[in-house]
Amino acid sequence: MQTTRSSNFAAGLRTTLLLAGLTGLLVVIGALIGGPDTALVFLVVAAVMNLGVYWFSDKIALKSAGAKPISEQEAPQIYAMVRELTTAAKMPMPSLYLIPQEQPNAFATGRSPDKAAVAVTAGITKLLSPDELRGVIAHELAHIRNRDTLIQAVAATIGGAITYLGYMLLWFGGDDESPLSLIASLALVLLAPIAASIIQLAISRQREFSADATGAQICGNPESLASALLRLEEGSKAIPMKVNDATECLYIVKPLHGGRGLANLFSTHPPIEERVRRLRQMRPALG
């Protein structure tokens, strides 16, 4: 238990530093393009965007996934499972949604535990055993408890702004009075989006490891989630699923596959093998 808390604290600290780095990168880009005034403008823009994300990120994620609310009459077993887990975790009951997709997957969204939702695909309810599904739902509740959904949305918003600025510089150039030389401008266009993507991916991977650990603690059995992850990976490879690139990081397993080597460096999710290894190391600690 103490090991899990220490791990979660370390992951939270790393995430905070990464978010600060992402925001700092945006401000530095502004300073390089137009000086201190532009840097301040970019900082204000980032704050406004994050405010919008705070209020609307859950609606955007659910709508982009085509998720529909499900009632307790439609899914009594899932409701009973979620109610049991939220009671054990001392959390409010989230809204439940069904994604009409056959790929087995799930995600959580919402700015706080009181305004949260868990969405599962039709495929996940067919593939997993009740014990495995319990592990998956515990993982999603961990994301809610850790407020990962808001963190991911903020990271995606700032990272998207940096990438957009790179495109703008590429097509329209910078201010003639900017201190940037032509070579520096080109380097900024190429490197800033890459740096932003790497930071976003680092945040996403840290939050997945942390949610796995907290989810195992909530459900009380790390093997439930470990077994589910192995089956979900195989299912997600076998059954394609269209998702918005901006929401891909929310899903418990990577919904889009393709490429090896360098492509894996830019994956939104850590390797399943490593997640399973860490979960199985937790079994002695949780008994």
- Annotated active-site residue in 84, 102, 140, 274: 140
Q: Which two tokens stand for residue 79?
A: 């409701």
Predicted local confidence at residue 100, as pLDDT: 95
**141 and 108 Cβ atoms separated by less than 8 Å:** yes
Structure confidence at residue 105 as a pLDDT band (50, 70, 90): very high
Structure confidence at residue 41 as a pLDDT band (50, 70, 90): confident
State yes or no: is 140 an active-site residue: yes
At which residue do the structure tokens 């699923």 appear? 241
Predicted local confidence at residue 226, as pLDDT: 97
Q: ∠ CA(136), CA(62), CA(16), 5° rounding? A: 70
Instruction: Assess whether pLDDT exceeds 90 at residue 42.
Output: no
Burial of 230 (C-beta count, 10 Å sphere; 0-12/13-18/19+) = middle
Predicted local confidence at residue 123, as pLDDT: 96
Q: pLDDT tens across 65-76, in order?
A: 999 999 999 999
**89 and 75 Cβ atoms separated by less than 8 Å:** no
Q: pLDDT tens across 174-186, in order?
A: 555 555 555 556 6
Q: What is the mean pLDDT of residues 16-20?
A: 64
Structure confidence at residue 244 as a pLDDT band (50, 70, 90): confident
Q: pLDDT tens across 245-279, in order?
A: 767 888 999 887 655 544 455 567 899 999 999 99
66 vs 57: CA distance, rounded Å: 14
280 vs 208: CA distance, rounded Å: 15
Q: What is the mean pLDDT of residues 184-199?
A: 65
Q: pLDDT tens across 62-102, in order?
A: 998 999 999 999 999 999 999 999 999 999 999 999 999 99
Domain spans in the chain, listed from the N-terminal domain onward: 2-66+148-286
Burial of 47 (C-beta count, 10 Å sphere; 0-12/13-18/19+) = exposed
